[in-house]
């Protein structure tokens, strides 16, 4: 029975080895700090995810706002190459007392468009003949300076429709345009 000297069998086998719990402010502070750290970690994680998502969706470009612009400032004219080798064309108007017309026409086409340049070069004689006939069919009143824009548009459309087959010109300009009455 020597083995049973230190054992108290009347306790129903309960071991009371756990220290008593502390109460008060000492237990509240570590738990409060734990929740603050969890909250800060969640905020940092959310902000990081939002920033990374915005960078991916935005394509890493700076934010730009649309500025309303009136129609008169929106269109920039494209830069054209000019065919200037047609030279001066002389003709007489269709009036009863004809006037002499001297015009030097240049043709504008897309920048670096070799096909248009070569087609215009190949049709130079046809273009000169067309221009001579065109101005011969006009009266001196139709060739006044206030009608110049209308003449340029008519010439461009006629050259594109009747002379050029695979390419198009974009613009027609006059380097010289003289109508001398007799």
CA-to-CA distance for 180 and 100, rounded, in angstroms?
5
Of 118, 120, 89, 111, residue with least CA distance to 102: 89
How far is it between the farthest Cα atoms of the chain? 155
Q: Is 155 within 8 Å of 172 (Cβ atoms)?
A: yes
pLDDT at res. 62:
58
Q: pLDDT by residue for the chain (182 residues), tens digit each?
A: 555 555 555 555 555 555 555 556 677 888 888 999 999 999 999 999 999 888 888 765 655 666 666 655 556 778 889 999 999 999 999 888 888 999 999 999 999 889 999 999 999 999 999 999 999 999 988 989 899 999 999 999 999 999 988 899 999 999 999 999 87
pLDDT at res. 55:
83
């Amino acid at each position: 029975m020597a083995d049973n000297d230190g054992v108290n069998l009347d306790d129903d086998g309960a071991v009371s080895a756990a220290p008593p719990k502390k109460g008060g402010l000492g237990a509240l502070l570590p738990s409060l700090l734990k929740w603050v750290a969890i909250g800060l970690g969640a905020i940092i994680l959310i902000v990081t995810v939002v920033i990374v998502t915005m960078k991916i969706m935005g394509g890493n470009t700076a934010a730009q706002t649309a500025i309303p612009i009136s129609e008169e400032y929106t269109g920039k004219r494209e830069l054209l190459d000019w065919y200037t080798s047609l030279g001066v064309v002389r003709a007489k108007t269709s009036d009863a007392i004809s006037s002499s017309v001297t015009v030097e026409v240049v043709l504008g086409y897309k920048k670096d468009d070799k096909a248009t340049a070569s087609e215009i070069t190949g049709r130079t004689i046809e273009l000169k003949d067309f221009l001579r006939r065109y101005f011969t069919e006009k009266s001196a009143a139709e060739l006044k300076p206030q009608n110049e824009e209308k003449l340029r548009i008519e010439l461009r459309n006629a050259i594109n429709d009747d002379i050029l087959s695979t390419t198009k010109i974009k613009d027609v300009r006059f380097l010289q345009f003289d109508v001398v009455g007799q």
